[in-house]
Structure 1
């Protein structure tokens, strides 16, 4: 008898990640429906992979942030649009306006510090971009089961980690 769970034919990890990313889309959609301004003290930190497929940022920002970037939606943003699988927004970087197009699949974190809420996501990468898992790197072999990491500070941050199976 083995302790290893059987391989699932249902991609639970992908389904959960997609559902959590839909939360981001729904929240941003409510901001658009409310006239494009954030209610109360709400503001968002959104971290995304700048090299992910479909991401459009100005070349100077991509050069400055070749892997990952965090934007803040608080007071000065414009033209927020939300599509089925992306959002777009205008922001200033060093007083230079820029338009960004970010697929939800590129998002790795979403935080609203006003209410101590946050979500963290696995990076969505193409199979050829995936790195081989090195069990010596983290001290334990992943078994493919989700790891739900509660926040140590009592906040509402949810981190779901679905380890890769070999």
Structure 2
């Protein structure tokens, strides 16, 4: 018998990743339709800032030239969920910003309230996402909820990545 597996002419990995990105789309669509997040649910969404179709303010692109993570929890507005991308209003250091993020740019989705996480390989020939962090990774900061912190909605997903 031959121990080599033939190369597939069907891109199963890509099909599965697209289906999993559909989970993100469906969850965001549900939040849009229901007008908010139920219970303690909140999301960390990591994305490649230079992926095709991403629209973010220049100051955020300069601060996060490769990847950033947004928090969707208490303060967001104008969530619009489309078939290829979503847009959302968030505040960064008390500066309101509108972001447009194609699902193909998303590399991570986490709902820590229920310990749910998805991680995606970058699309469109982009390099790999950051390697998983070790067990000593710091807690991500809390999102802007009107407290005295810097108001940033950017956190790291490293603590949710599997080794």
Q: TM-score range by the shorter chain?
A: 0.7 to 0.9
More relative contact order, 1 or 2 (CA 8 Å, 6+ apart):
2
Deviation at 1:158, TM superposition (A): 9.1
Q: Deviations over 1:84-131 (max 9, x none)?
A: 0111000000000000000000000000000000100000023xx568
- 1:45 aligned partner: 44
Within-5 A mapping of 1:3-14: 3-14=3-14
Deviations 1:54-104 (A, max 9, x none): 000001100100000000000000000100011100000000000000000
Label 1:10 to 1:84 Cα distance change in 2 as closer, same or farther (>3 A).
Answer: same
- CA–CA distance in structure 2, aligned partners of residues 114 and 130 of structure 1: 30
SS in 2 for 1:8: coil
Q: Any gaps of 5 or more consecutive residues in structure 1? A: 132-151, 160-166
Q: Secondary structure at 1:97's aligned position in 2?
A: strand
SS of the residue 1:62 aligns to = helix
Shift of 1:3: 3.0
Structure with the larger strand share: 1
Extract structure 1 runs of 4+ deviating beyond 3 A.
none
C-alpha distance in 2, partners of 1:86/1:2? Answer: 44
Offset of residue 27 of structure 1: 0.1
Tell me, yes or no, if structure 1 residue 28 matches structure 2 residue 37: no
TM-score, with length taken from structure 2: 0.76
Question: Aligned partners of 1:46 and 1:23: how far apart in 2?
Answer: 13
User: RMSD of the TM alignment (CA)?
Assistant: 2.0
TM-score by length of 1: 0.75
Structure 2 gaps of 5+ residues are: 129-134, 136-159
Counterpart in 1 of 2:94? 95
**Paired residue for 2:54?**
55
Count of residues paired in the alignment: 132
CA distance in structure 2 between the partners assigned to 1:79 and 1:130 by the alignment = 31
